[in-house]
Amino acid sequence: AQSVAQPEDQVNVAEGNPLTVKCTYSVSGNPYLFWYVQYPNRGLQFLLKYITGDNLVKGSYGFEAEFNKSQTSFHLKKPSALVSDSALYFCAVREGTNAGKSTFGDGTTLTVKP
Amino acid sequence: KAGVTQTPRYLIKTRGQQVTLSCSPISGHRSVSWYQQTPGQGLQFLFEYFSETQRNKGNFPGRFSGRQFSNSRSEMNVSTLELGDSALYLCASSLRATSGKNEQFFGPGTRLTVL
């Protein structure tokens, strides 16, 4: 079984400061890891993914994520937050054999204050 | 390329009724998955279709069903609606279902309210 945990319901940062949104996962095989963002009344938008290779993955809108196999984590980061980054962020995991089924974390609400 | 479209965007039904939601994937995408999003349960996987076949199913009662057509468009049906079925229903498409490497592209969702 695959599972994802996002330990923080809410993250607050000041504009211009770095941000981190945490995610840990559990799978029995090799993980495929994803970050999505959801704005109010909208569907989810893909930000980035880790499949294999470099542990640091770069994605859309200046976001990046670091895959850490020993800690089973995939934290989302951005060096300098913008007010427009305020949204709901979801981490998701899939096992290679479970292609169509993504398991999502509960989501973290990011608020960036001016 | 047009994105994933879902119709209708909003629905209000009463308990006991049934409802059908529709999803058109991105052109060329053959995998369609459905998710239920609620404040209490978060995002939960309903089912996934590829080439008109259900390939994965989540832990939902048999009142929830779906199908996929030859043009990859998908519908999901909920019969005998309950108050707890009120949710945002999201459809997602991806290029292939045989690999978990492909990200999913989500539609805007259908907001179902059961009174």
Residue A94 has pLDDT above 80, yes or no: yes
* Residue entry with tokens 């805007």: B108
Task: Point out which residues pair with A98 in neighbouring strands.
Answer: none
β-pairing verdict for B10-13 and B110-114: parallel
Other C-beta atoms lying within 10 Å of the C-beta of residue B75: 17
B104: nearest CB among A41, A98, A102? A102
Cα separation of B83 and B112, whole Å?
Answer: 10
Residue B21 has pLDDT above 90, yes or no: yes
DSSP secondary-structure letter at B25? P
**For B46-70, what is each residue's pLDDT tens digit?**
999 998 999 888 999 999 999 999 9
Cα separation of B103 and A48, whole Å?
Answer: 8
Band of residue A102 on the pLDDT scale cut at 50, 70, 90: confident
DSSP secondary-structure letter at B62? T
Average pLDDT score, chain A: 92
- Region A50-67 average pLDDT: 92
A100: nearest CB among B97, B106, B107? B97
